């Protein structure tokens, strides 16, 4: 079987998740290529070397430009913060590599568009990693919608709630700096809800947004004083979809007890669907079937559920990390088939366009068209 | 014990619920007055007589003006559709009666203001029936908030979802006519979420609203053809509270499987609360207490929970109708104490002001101040 | 409409629940007789008079023998502790009255048999009040089972858990005295599980039981010292049903957090059912329907669900007390039709036989046949 | 870091789970040894070679005796069906290897005792793989119990329910043959409940058991006719613990909708705990804290929860397979520390003793002492 040589840039949280996915893929799935974890790239020589060993990479490097140009590498997997995505992805495209980019595609719409142009022009396979699309329960939701089982969609209600910055003494980390993170809850978590909305319901035509920062100054991490929080702590919006559905999307990190509560409810003319990432193996589904109608909790762990038969028997649940393995599975299949996987950089551009409109609307205090 | 002679105008759904409350009150609570179900008033002589017998009223009548002026009556309880509230309430106030009015206070802000002026000028006790404020679990939520147990409130997320008009062949009943109902989901159910928002979080300062009608024509009830639906099928809005909290409020009758899903989630700086009317005996509460933190499902049926000790032992749950008994309990106590109960007509005016702003915002496509 | 004159003996917890049911019945249901709350009977003149006023009875009395013989009374409703059931019921039967008896039918099997013989001989209508059979969700479970929707039953798993005597300083109330209560958790709450088991699954053929007393001495209520607890704190058993199903039944008042947790799970060859009294408006139902199979939470509040259409619209939940109204509804209909209602004294005898076998088995440490 | 050379015998379901654990351990945990997946051993040369490649083993073999004796191997991991456990484990012990054995330790008590004697005599490290002890939520339950947070334990209620043989046409697989599997639901799944009972509550002193076979003949897998099912389809028992607690344990594969429902409830004098494997990241905990008491759903994914900090941030749930990684983590640490891990072969013997007593009691129809 042909090998697929992968280099990954970045080795923090997302780097660990992607590494695991590359490692696990061939252990559980029959794929057309055998991924080789060739090179892990990071800034600091000693920490990237240590990470490479821990995460199972053959080699480590510190100069991403060199890695990107290396003829031995087939795939560039970008796991750095958003600010550097554009530069790396464009160079990778120009070098003819397959590019997988962790979300958000970029911190600005301009960068996202440049990236999409670059991969399109280069004709390389590109994919954006919005891993939650590939939780089996979400895949099942998509199947049910596509099969018409909830009818014409009327409502989408998406929230992504966490609580890790409720404490005002929590430090001003990079995710709270606009220069590095682009935005706050909006790009970090509301963007996941948005991506699921587009995936499951359709394109958004207009938004009314509200961004709010509750704590505008926090202690610096190095203890040297206090720094400004210039991103949103919470992002809310009303949305109109092109197909006539309406909805709400919200992200906040100020919700005590909500650890990773990425929840959506979709109501159609014939049924409803509810998903909650904290119980990601379950999908709630309602259809009208007379006196025994009720929301059913589908434990999406049966062999007929997407991706499941390659793992464990029914009722043996999957975890967070499996969603990345499924994502990379589909990327590897796409490399083989030549069909562009989704979401890809084109989706990244559209997502960014909507996020931009939400921010703009919060300023203008009126609806903004996409 | 002094008797309190009650007359009720209207005997449909709300009339049945209020009748039950008046009947049950003295059986379970020690109250300063003994309510007497004196006169039930309705338009049609034979049906009001039948209803009076069924619902336990001593007498029936068809001319509400006469009833309102009768010297034998102490309390006028208004259970008619919104369009007639103003006329009846104002006449009752002028006749010096205690006035209880089912929500919404009126179909228009102008009417609401006239009603509030009338009861204020007459100096009579007045109350608006928003019964869900007095589900024990909601009362407990209010106590916890007032005691500071969730800290400073950041988020309110209220939905009131039903599914009874999902079928496009469901007829064009009076609740779908603007002339009679004033509005659709907005005034009928989103108004409950709004009232809970104001009760639990505080006053709203601005809104961005979205009203939508999915099915704009339906069969007439008498089979004579089709009629226009000129009210909203769904109402969504973003809200800003005066205290800095932000939130969403939504009402829709197009959500398959949601029968009476009046749910709210409130996140404060120290904790969170969740309530769902379909499980109205439960309140979910999160506070940070170290490694055993978790949303706890409080079964609000213990003697120390509001109103509960007058009913049954722990775990013996209450139903929908009990919320009305509690409301009337507090009205009767207020008549005795002379203190104005809440919510009252003043709240009705404010609620109406916000509903108006939501509708206005849906037209203007920008935020509207209250 | 003919009146039905009712006298009730006893006015504590069950007396309050039954009074409410008699009062509410004609307000919500069209029944062939109009119940009249004629006489409430209790030992202490002043407290029974006060209770009669509070609970809505026309008159009060202290001599139950006289009441039972009164020609003005049609129905005797027995709400006293178990020790006096036999004497009252037999006298009532001999006087030709309809007899409704709160569970347990009696404290001993012998008494139960004498009671059943008396009502049978007298040819009077008799009913045992096991109110949970008539929670709409339980009625729906019965309908589904009878319609074959879960197939042949294999398993019954019933628990009835409470926590009100967890504290060792909780006093030695009458329910903890064998002379008055007959038994502890066994007769008080496990008996409800047993009755549901027989109702839903079928007759029990053999049991292996275990009775346990965790705290065998408690403070007396009058503060005069400590008294012996000579009933079981918890009762567990394995059961075999005549139809081949097997199961477990358990009652305990030593389960912190379980307030009134009367739960059962039934597994058949085609599906499963789960009920929990603390969420008594819901029934969980599983049937195999391919990839969307899942336990569905049926909110048993739709008009097509048993008893519901006489109350409120979908999603407006019922409470504990409604189960008594439904029981009395069926009693009144049975008086009219002449068909013996269930459960009746015959069921009471069988229930008692099984409870006896459980206690016997706990002594013999082996299986006991019924 | 010193390497630890592992050989595994068997490569079906459990072999896949153990392989994954050995591979993942060093990627997420800092352990004193680096495990090397040296040799995978199976009967059929071509299938074991394929499995070795797929599962990440360096080499494959077909003669387990040779593997067990190989001086290059440090650890023998036994993943075969129960019938061959004794022979392999005893040989491994005699060869001085660390032995990890998948549960059940053996199909008979005699074999289990021989195995325990062999490892004890050889002085090798031994461990029994009951992986559910190391779900973080179960570890948390253990911590809470040990810290006295639920007080003195009164009740254990354990069920392990599945539904994979509900269909009478499901074939007579090896798990339904006594010669291969030893027993049915009893040893396969009730044994997990039993192990958790012993781990969390304490030693069992006596049992009353009931084994039942609903379908006693099934189609053979090769289509050659029908074969006898000579194991139990369901196993129920009452248990007494040495510390005074009482309980029930049940295993069944005839429960439609229950896929992997390994659930327990424990009630103590101060609180309660509930766990359900299908939601294995959650632990329900009740303690009395006044009016806000309620079962709290602890999402056991915080850094302070056992094993969690080596994986992902809060709310990013773990799956079934992680429990094996944790088990192997503790084995590797035990090899380093020299302290015997739990559960070990001694536990296996005790577990087998209780399972035997349950089977014996089902025959004798009386309680059996352990």
What is the DSSP code (8-state) at residue B175?
Answer: G
Sequence-ordered list of residues with C-beta below 8 angstroms from that of C337, at least 6 positions apart, any chain: none
- Chain B neighbours (≥3 Cβ pairs under 8 A) are A, C, D
Matching residue, tokens 């003669």: D63
Alpha helix stretches (DSSP H) within chain C: 13-28, 45-55, 64-69, 85-94, 109-122, 136-146, 178-181, 185, 191-200, 322-337, 345-364
- Which residues of A sit within 8 Å Cβ distance of B? 150, 154-155, 157, 159, 161, 166, 208, 210, 212, 214, 234, 236-238, 240, 244, 246-248, 250, 252, 254-258, 265, 267-272, 286-288, 293-295, 364-367
Sequence-ordered list of residues with C-beta below 8 angstroms from that of B105, at least 6 positions apart, any chain: B85, B111, B112, B115, B116, B128, B345, B348, B349, B351, B352
Does residue A315 sit in helix, strand or coil?
A: coil
pLDDT, tens digit, 9 for 90 and up, residues C332-359: 999 999 899 999 999 999 999 999 999 9
Give me the pLDDT at residue B45, please: 96
Give me the pLDDT at residue D1, please: 66
- A56 phi, psi to nearest 5 deg: 90, 25
Question: Which positions in chain A touch B237 (Cβ < 8 Å)?
Answer: 238
| Beta carbons of D106 and D86 less than 8 angstroms apart | yes
Dist CA A289 CA A291 (whole Å)? 7
Dist CA D365 CA C90 (whole Å)? 39
Sequence-ordered list of residues with C-beta below 8 angstroms from that of A280, at least 6 positions apart, any chain: A135, A137, A318, A320, A323, D317
Tokens describing residue B139: 């009362």
| Beta carbons of D204 and D240 less than 8 angstroms apart | yes
- Select from B192, D286, B250, B266 the least CA-distant residue to A237: B250
Alpha helix stretches (DSSP H) within chain B: 13-28, 45-55, 64-69, 85-94, 109-122, 136-146, 178-181, 185, 191-200, 322-337, 345-364
- C204 phi, psi to nearest 5 deg: -95, 135
Give me the pLDDT at residue B158, please: 98
Is D238 a residue whose pLDDT tops 90? yes
Q: Starting at the earlier edge strand, list the strands of the sheet with D59-61.
A: D59-61, D34-41, D3-9, D75-78, D98-102, D126-129
- Which residues of B sit within 8 Å Cβ distance of C? 13, 17, 19-20, 23, 26-27, 54-56, 162, 164, 258-261, 277-281, 299, 301-302, 311-322
Put simply, the answer to whether A294 touches C285 (Cβ < 8 Å) is: yes
Put simply, the answer to whether D154 touches C254 (Cβ < 8 Å) is: yes
Report, as an integer, the average pLDDT of D232-254. Answer: 98
R_g (Cα) of chain B, nearest Å: 21
- Which residues of B sit within 8 Å Cβ distance of D? 140, 144, 149, 283-285, 287, 290-299, 302, 304-305
Question: Which positions in chain B touch D292 (Cβ < 8 Å)?
Answer: 144, 149, 285, 287, 296, 298
| Beta carbons of B51 and B44 less than 8 angstroms apart | no
Neighbour-count burial of C179, counting CB atoms closer than 10 A to its CB (0-12 exposed, 13-18 middle, 19+ buried): exposed
Question: Which positions in chain B touch D290 (Cβ < 8 Å)?
Answer: 304
**B-C C-beta contacts closer than 8 Å:** 93
Neighbour-count burial of B180, counting CB atoms closer than 10 A to its CB (0-12 exposed, 13-18 middle, 19+ buried): middle
- Select from C214, D292, D323 the least CA-distant residue to B305: D292
Is D75 a residue whose pLDDT tops 80? yes
For C296, the closest of A296, A302, A304 (CB atoms) is A296
Neighbour-count burial of A304, counting CB atoms closer than 10 A to its CB (0-12 exposed, 13-18 middle, 19+ buried): exposed
Q: What is the mean pLDDT of chain C?
A: 97
Dist CA D73 CA A17 (whole Å)? 32
Which residues are B332's β-sheet partners? none
Tokens describing residue D156: 């254990």
R_g (Cα) of chain A, nearest Å: 21
Put simply, the answer to whether C320 touches B299 (Cβ < 8 Å) is: no
pLDDT bucket at C168, cuts 50 / 70 / 90: very high
Tokens describing residue C342: 């269930």
Give me the pLDDT at residue B276, please: 98
For C296, the closest of A283, A295, A302 (CB atoms) is A295
**A-D C-beta contacts closer than 8 Å:** 95
Matching residue, tokens 């997302």: A14
Which of D281, D294, D302, D303 to probe by mutation at the B interface, max B CB count within 10 Å?
A: D294
Question: Cis peptide before C104, with omega less than 30 degrees from 0?
Answer: yes
SS3 content of chain B, % helix, strand, coil (to 5): 40, 25, 35
Put simply, the answer to whether C258 touches B315 (Cβ < 8 Å) is: yes
CA dihedral B248, B252, B256, B258 (to 10 degrees): 70
**Residue D248: C-alpha distances to residues A329, B300, C123, C130, D360 (Å):** 44, 30, 43, 26, 17
List, as one string, the DSSP characters of C5-43.
EEEEE--SHHHHHHHHHHHHHHHH---SSEEEEEEEE-S
Per-residue pLDDT of chain A (370 residues; tens, 9 = 90+): 699 999 999 999 999 999 999 999 999 999 999 999 999 999 999 999 999 999 999 999 999 999 999 999 999 999 999 999 999 999 999 999 999 999 999 999 999 999 999 999 999 999 999 999 999 999 999 999 999 999 999 999 999 999 999 999 999 999 999 998 999 999 999 999 999 999 999 999 999 999 999 999 999 999 999 999 999 999 999 999 999 999 999 999 999 999 999 999 999 999 999 999 999 999 999 999 999 999 999 999 999 999 999 999 999 999 999 999 999 999 999 999 989 999 999 999 999 999 999 999 999 999 999 9
Put simply, the answer to whether B321 touches C312 (Cβ < 8 Å) is: yes
Is C59 a residue whose pLDDT tops 90? yes
Nearest CA in chain B to D303: B291
For C155, the closest of D244, D252, D269 (CB atoms) is D252
| Beta carbons of C273 and C266 less than 8 angstroms apart | yes
Nearest CA in chain B to A272: B256
- Which residues of D sit within 8 Å Cβ distance of C? 150, 154-155, 157, 159, 161, 166, 208, 210, 212, 214, 234, 236-238, 240, 244, 246-248, 250, 252, 254-258, 265, 267-272, 286-288, 293-295, 364-367
As for the ipTM of the complex, it is 0.96
For A212, the closest of B246, B250, B265 (CB atoms) is B246
For B292, the closest of D290, D293, D298 (CB atoms) is D298
| Beta carbons of D160 and D195 less than 8 angstroms apart | no
Measure C252 CA to nearest chain D CA, in Å.
Answer: 9
Put simply, the answer to whether B296 touches D291 (Cβ < 8 Å) is: no
Residues D156, D160, D166, D172, CA torsion sign: negative
Question: Which positions in chain D touch B296 (Cβ < 8 Å)?
Answer: 292-297
Per-residue pLDDT of chain B (370 residues; tens, 9 = 90+): 699 999 999 999 999 999 999 999 999 999 999 999 999 999 999 999 999 999 999 999 999 999 999 999 999 999 999 999 999 999 999 999 999 999 999 999 999 999 999 999 999 999 999 999 999 999 999 999 999 999 999 999 999 999 999 999 999 999 999 998 999 999 999 999 999 999 999 999 999 999 999 999 999 999 999 999 999 999 999 999 999 999 999 999 999 999 999 999 999 999 999 999 999 999 999 999 999 999 999 999 999 999 999 999 999 999 999 999 999 999 999 999 989 999 999 999 999 999 999 999 999 999 999 9
Put simply, the answer to whether A210 touches B210 (Cβ < 8 Å) is: no
- Select from C29, C3, C11, C1 the least CA-distant residue to C328: C29
Put simply, the answer to whether B320 touches C314 (Cβ < 8 Å) is: no
Nearest CA in chain B to A212: B246
Put simply, the answer to whether C295 touches A296 (Cβ < 8 Å) is: yes
pTM for this structure?
A: 0.97
Question: Which positions in chain A touch B166 (Cβ < 8 Å)?
Answer: 269
Which residues are A136's β-sheet partners? none
Tokens describing residue A140: 């099942």
Nearest CA in chain A to C303: A291
Pairing of strands D217-219, D204-212: unpaired
Nearest CA in chain D to C154: D254
Dist CA D284 CA D276 (whole Å)? 9
Dist CA B283 CA B271 (whole Å)? 13
Neighbour-count burial of A292, counting CB atoms closer than 10 A to its CB (0-12 exposed, 13-18 middle, 19+ buried): middle
D2 or C237, which is more confident: C237
pLDDT bucket at C264, cuts 50 / 70 / 90: very high
Listed in order, strand segments (DSSP E) in A10-125 are 34-41, 59-61, 75-78, 98-102
Dist CA A31 CA A26 (whole Å)? 7
Neighbours of B324 (CB within 10 A): 23
**Residue C251: C-alpha distances to residues B298, C321, D75, D150 (Å):** 22, 21, 48, 20
Put simply, the answer to whether C301 touches B259 (Cβ < 8 Å) is: yes
- Chain A neighbours (≥3 Cβ pairs under 8 A) are B, C, D
Dist CA A299 CA A137 (whole Å)? 8
Does residue C323 sit in helix, strand or coil?
A: helix
Does residue A78 sit in helix, strand or coil?
A: strand
Nearest CA in chain B to A293: B257
| Beta carbons of C299 and C281 less than 8 angstroms apart | yes
- Select from A88, A87, A73 the least CA-distant residue to A9: A88
Residues D150, D156, D157, D162, CA torsion sign: positive
For B27, the closest of C55, C164, C313 (CB atoms) is C55
Tokens describing residue A170: 């929590």
Put simply, the answer to whether B293 touches D296 (Cβ < 8 Å) is: yes
Dist CA B241 CA A17 (whole Å)? 40
Tokens describing residue A59: 């080699």
Question: Which positions in chain C touch A285 (Cβ < 8 Å)?
Answer: 292, 294
């Amino acid at each position: 079987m042909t090998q697929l040589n992968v280099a990954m840039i970045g080795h923090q949280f997302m780097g660990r998740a992607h590494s695991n996915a590359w490692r696990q893929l061939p252990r559980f799935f029959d794929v057309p290529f055998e991924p080789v974890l060739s090179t892990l790239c990071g800034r600091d020589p000693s920490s990237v070397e240590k990470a490479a060993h821990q995460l199972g990479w053959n080699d480590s490097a510190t100069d991403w430009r060199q890695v990107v140009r290396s003829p031995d590498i087939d795939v560039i997997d970008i796991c750095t913060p958003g600010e550097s995505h554009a530069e790396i992805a464009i160079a990778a495209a120009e070098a003819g590599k397959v590019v997988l980019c962790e979300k958000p595609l970029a911190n600005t719409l301009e960068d996202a568009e440049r990236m999409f142009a670059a991969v399109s022009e280069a004709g390389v396979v590109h994919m954006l990693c919005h891993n939650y699309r590939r939780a089996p329960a979400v895949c099942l939701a998509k199947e049910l919608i596509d099969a018409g089982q909830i009818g014409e969609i009327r409502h989408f209600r998406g929230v992504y709630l966490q609580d890790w910055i409720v404490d005002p003494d929590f430090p001003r980390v990079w995710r709270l700096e606009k220069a590095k993170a682009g935005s706050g809850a909006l790009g970090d978590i509301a963007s996941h809800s948005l991506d699921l909305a587009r995936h499951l319901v359709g394109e958004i035509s207009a938004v009314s947004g509200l961004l709010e920062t509750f704590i505008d100054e926090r202690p610096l991490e190095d203890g040297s004083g206090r720094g400004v929080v210039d991103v949103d702590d919470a992002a809310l919006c009303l949305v109109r979809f092109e197909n006539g559905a309406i909805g709400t999307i919200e992200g906040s990190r100020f919700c005590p007890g909500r650890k990773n509560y990425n929840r959506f409810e979709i109501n159609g003319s014939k049924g409803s669907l509810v998903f909650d990432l904290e119980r990601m193996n379950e999908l709630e589904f309602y259809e009208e079937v007379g006196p025994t109608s009720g929301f059913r909790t589908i434990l999406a762990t049966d062999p007929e559920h997407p991706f499941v038969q390659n793992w464990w028997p029914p009722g043996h649940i999957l975890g967070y990390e499996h969603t990345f393995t499924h994502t990379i599975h589909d990327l590897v299949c796409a490399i083989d088939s030549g069909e562009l996987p989704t979401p890809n950089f084109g989706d990244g551009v559209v997502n960014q366009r909507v996020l931009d409109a939400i921010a703009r609307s919060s300023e203008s205090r009126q609806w903004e068209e996409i």
